Structure 1
Amino acid sequence: MLIRLQKFLADSGIASRRKAEELIKEGKVKVNGATVTELGLKIDESKDVVLFNNKEVKKSEELEYLLLHKPKGYITTVKDQFGRKSILELIDTENRLFPVGRLDYDTSGLLIITNDGELTYKLTHPKHNVEKTYVALVRGIPSNDKLDKLKKGIKLEEFTTAPAKVKIIETKGPNAVLEIKIREGKNRQVRRMCEAIGHFVIELKRTAIGEIVLSNIKEGEYRSLSQKEIGYLKRI
């Protein structure tokens, strides 16, 4: 059976499909001894030999799905030029896993980690518009007019955000706690949205992805997703 090279790499737990495409373009993948840099190549996984960084890639037999409560102070990539800690240091597994999407260094909360490349590709592709819920402690208390700007979509430097669901959960002295639900995932988007209406984010946590909820897991801890949760994510 023929399969696209980037899908084979994703299914093998090397990286998400999108990242696998980057690895191919960077010349880090070989098929039967020849370096491949163009996308679109299909391979026969029963016959062709695929190397990544000169090591043979074998398709992962066991798929793993984890929900991690990411703490602040961790990156969601495998390596970092500044030597910062990676979320993968918190996971005890023999499988090669990668996060579904990202949370920035100073953001905590729900992060799904898996070696299912197909699911990762689906959940991070813009066309699927999976709703993500964040709780943000912001400096000051936004007026209804400012919240309405977020609800309608607000202009940032390079794009206008899609309409968001926003409400004040509570006030803490001079500050407010907002619940913000978005269907996009641009870099630092929630922080930038709040700054655009004049309210700096003090703390930010992601509490849900669709119907998958962070619940009572402590920071730095993780659990396996249930079969019901996995089924839900695959149906999105």
Structure 2
Amino acid sequence: MRSRGSSNSRNYRGAGNDRDRKQQRAGRPRPEERRYPQDGASGTGRGGRGGTGRGGTARGAGRPGGPARTREYEAELEERHRARHGRPAATLPKTFGEPEGERLQKVLARAGLGSRRSCEELIDQGRVEVNGRTVREQGRRVDPDRDEIRVDGLTIASQKYVFYALNKPVGVVSAMEDPEGRPCLGDYVQDRETRLFHVGRLDAETEGIILLTNHGEVAHRLTHPRYGVTKTYLAALTGPLPRDLGRRLREGVQMEDGYVRADDFRVVDQVGHNYLVEVVLHEGRKHIVRRMLAEAGFPVDKLVRTHFGPVALGDQKPGRLRRMTHTEVGQLMREVGL
């Protein structure tokens, strides 16, 4: 048995060597040395068919240096690729992916509470609550759209809502656009990151505070008489004024569109016959202060709105736009029940 196996092995190696020598004499390369032409390449195969082998198909079609792939196999590969690349992206563990939410101090800073450093101090002082619990550790991540964040007991406005206070100058129309080309509120908010609209109106001859926001519900409630948000005005009058003028205004003045009552009235200053008076009311009819005082017999020489609810004009110069503070926004929302 052992001699027969060795004899067969020698015969196999010898047969292989003889076959190689015959191929060399015939001018054909050995199988491992063959080079197959690609599609469209010139060359001759068996039978001199211009680069085609058996069945008239190039042996190297579709893949250089290797045997041809059938159309069925190519279609199967394409389906595999589509299935592999069409799968949804794998969800990485939190350890390797981006952490959820934003840092609390970043959200507070964007809400207008100051720099990130000052917001970190608010957290250290225990003045910040998230979902009813006081937060003292730095780096806490929150979702401003889902988490309730409070500072000093007041809920902060989400970053998608913005609130501005403008000291409207005399001669500016209370509209975001004016078809007649007159100066309007939109001239002061052209470069803002979101579209704003004004809360209520001031006539062109009146100076003072007017609010701009993109929060529709807050704007609606601030101007609705049901919520009773007061507006405070300073009016320059020419006297002398009777002692009972304040009482008459608080009791109500009959006008063509009904009674109007002042919530409060007081004399702020007097120089000779020139008076500076303060009028507080919550109604928002057109030219309401000017019409009410004119009906009482004292036309207004100059009118300035100094307060809109809890938001004060202060020393803000005409034409200056400022972003409202967190405290002011919180007080406005509490005023209208939000």
Q: TM-score, normalised by structure 1?
A: 0.71
Larger mean Cα displacement after TM superposition, 91-100 or 117-126: 91-100
| Partner secondary structure for residue 304 of structure 2 | strand
Q: Residue 211 of structure 1 aligns with which residue?
A: 310
Pairing partner for 1:75 from 147, 169, 173: 173
Q: Residue 198 of structure 1 aligns with which residue?
A: 297
For the Cα contact (< 8 Å) 1:152–1:164, is it kept in 2? no
**Structure 1: tracts of 5 or more residues without a match:** 1-60
Q: Distance in 1 between matches of 2:325 and 2:262?
A: 31
Equivalent residue letter for 1:205: V
Q: Residue 228 of structure 2 aligns with which residue?
A: 129
Q: Residue 201 of structure 2 aligns with which residue?
A: 102
Equivalent residue letter for 1:212: V
Pairing partner for 1:220 from 319, 323, 333: 319
Q: Residue 21 of structure 1 aligns with which residue?
A: none
Q: Which structure has the larger Rg over C-alpha atoms?
A: 2
Q: Distance in 1 between matches of 2:233 and 2:244?
A: 20
For the Cα contact (< 8 Å) 1:99–1:111, is it kept in 2? yes
- Highest relative contact order (Cα 8 Å, sep 6+), 1 or 2? 1
Within 5 Å, which residues of 2 pair with 1:162-201? 162-201=261-300
Equivalent residue letter for 1:135: L
Q: Does 1:120 align with 2:244?
A: no
Q: Return the offset for 1:233.
A: 0.8
Higher strand fraction (1 or 2): 1
Q: Return the offset for 1:222.
A: 1.5
Q: Distance in 2 between matches of 1:196 and 1:67?
A: 31
Deviations 1:151-201 (A, max 9, x none): 211111111013431111111332211100001111000001110111110
| Partner secondary structure for residue 183 of structure 2 | coil
Q: Distance in 1 between matches of 2:245 and 2:331?
A: 34
Q: Return the offset for 1:211.
A: 1.5
| Partner secondary structure for residue 111 of structure 1 | strand
Q: Residue 63 of structure 1 aligns with which residue?
A: 161
Deviations 1:205-231 (A, max 9, x none): 010112211111111001111111111
Q: Distance in 2 between matches of 1:163 and 1:176?
A: 18
Q: Residue 15 of structure 1 aligns with which residue?
A: none
For the Cα contact (< 8 Å) 2:255–2:295, is it kept in 1? yes
Equivalent residue letter for 1:88: G
**Structure 2: tracts of 5 or more residues without a match:** 1-158
For the Cα contact (< 8 Å) 2:253–2:292, is it kept in 1? yes
Higher helix fraction (1 or 2): 2
For the Cα contact (< 8 Å) 1:67–1:112, is it kept in 2? yes
Runs ≥4 residues deviating over 4 A: none
Q: Does 1:87 align with 2:185?
A: yes
How many residue pairs match? The answer is: 177
Larger mean Cα displacement after TM superposition, 109-118 or 159-168: 159-168
| Partner secondary structure for residue 231 of structure 1 | helix
For the Cα contact (< 8 Å) 1:153–1:164, is it kept in 2? no
Q: Distance in 2 between matches of 1:200 and 1:139?
A: 8
| Partner secondary structure for residue 164 of structure 2 | strand
Equivalent residue letter for 1:168: V
| Partner secondary structure for residue 160 of structure 1 | strand
Equivalent residue letter for 1:73: G
Percent identity of paired positions between Structure 1 and Structure 2: 34
Deviations 1:118-150 (A, max 9, x none): 110111111001011100001223211223211
Equivalent residue letter for 2:272: G
For the Cα contact (< 8 Å) 2:246–2:264, is it kept in 1? no
Q: Residue 230 of structure 1 aligns with which residue?
A: 329
Q: Return the offset for 1:81.
A: 4.1
For the Cα contact (< 8 Å) 2:199–2:222, is it kept in 1? yes
